[in-house]
Structure 1
Amino acid sequence: MAAAVAAALVSTTNDIPGYRIVRPMGVVRGITVRSRSIVGNLGAALQTLVGGNITIYTELCEKARGEAFDLMLRHAAAMGANAVVGMRYDANEVAEGVTEVLAYGTAVQVEPGA
């Protein structure tokens, strides 16, 4: 089984302070597709009447991003990487009420030292 990639070794920049990249390994990604339930839509509609943060959708987005991030880390570990640089999120609506969330970046092997 591949070693896990620590979340602390994921960066949105192209480097990780205190580490040097010794081997780039390619693009990695984690994708999840989520839909809003009828109950969730009803609850969110009620929250919009009051205004402010729509917590039902916030929780859904956080869960989807977390799942996509974890899948990306597993993909990187399966490739033999111990870090990910250039990490980004993307989201697209693939059908009405159905959203794809993608976490992606470049898998790398790093070692301590600048």
Structure 2
Amino acid sequence: MHIFTTESVPGMTIEKNFGTVFGTVVRSRNVVGRTMGNISAFFGGRQSGDTKMVNETRDQAMSELGSNAEALGANAVLAMRFDSGEFDSGNGNIMQEITAYGTAVFLVRTPAETTPD
């Protein structure tokens, strides 16, 4: 599955447009991770645990996006973007949500133009 942030691909033509496709992943850190993150934040340290979780969640969202596009019959996703947010699922359990979205398409090579001899 090819995933592009651009709206078109040079040398390729959209043969079929399947519409918008999403890949969403929601995660939270465990109690130990949250506690260590709070201690690090108190001293102004880098939030490496949170950074790792966000990177993994982003990669999973892209993977899910590709799988969902493939299930529609697409071979590519164009104009891929991310959206993210946090929400409290109750009892102070903060959840991180990342959504990757774009347009699922089937791309084919654009025929080369031939010039008469």
TM-score range, shorter chain: 0.7 to 0.9
Partners of 2:49 and 2:30 lie apart in 1 by: 10
* Cα distance, 1:54 vs structure 2: 1.4
Q: TM-score, normalised on structure 2?
A: 0.81
Determine which of 3, 6, 11 is the counterpart of 1:10. Answer: 3
Determine which of 31, 50, 75 is the counterpart of 1:38. Answer: 31
User: How many percent of aligned residue pairs carry the same amino acid?
Assistant: 34
After the TM superposition, which segments of 4 or more aligned residues of structure 1 sit over 3 Å from their partners? none
Say if 2:105 is the partner of 1:108: yes
Partners of 2:26 and 2:83 lie apart in 1 by: 12
Stretches of structure 2 lacking an aligned partner (at least 5 in a row): 112-117
Letter in 2 for 1:23: K
Say if 2:70 is the partner of 1:70: no
Determine which of 66, 83, 86 is the counterpart of 2:79. Answer: 86
* Cα distance, 1:37 vs structure 2: 1.6
Superposed, which structure 2 residues align to 1:51-62 within 5 Å?
51=45, 53-62=46-55
Bigger CA radius of gyration? 2
Partners of 1:26 and 1:50 lie apart in 2 by: 44
Aligned length: 106
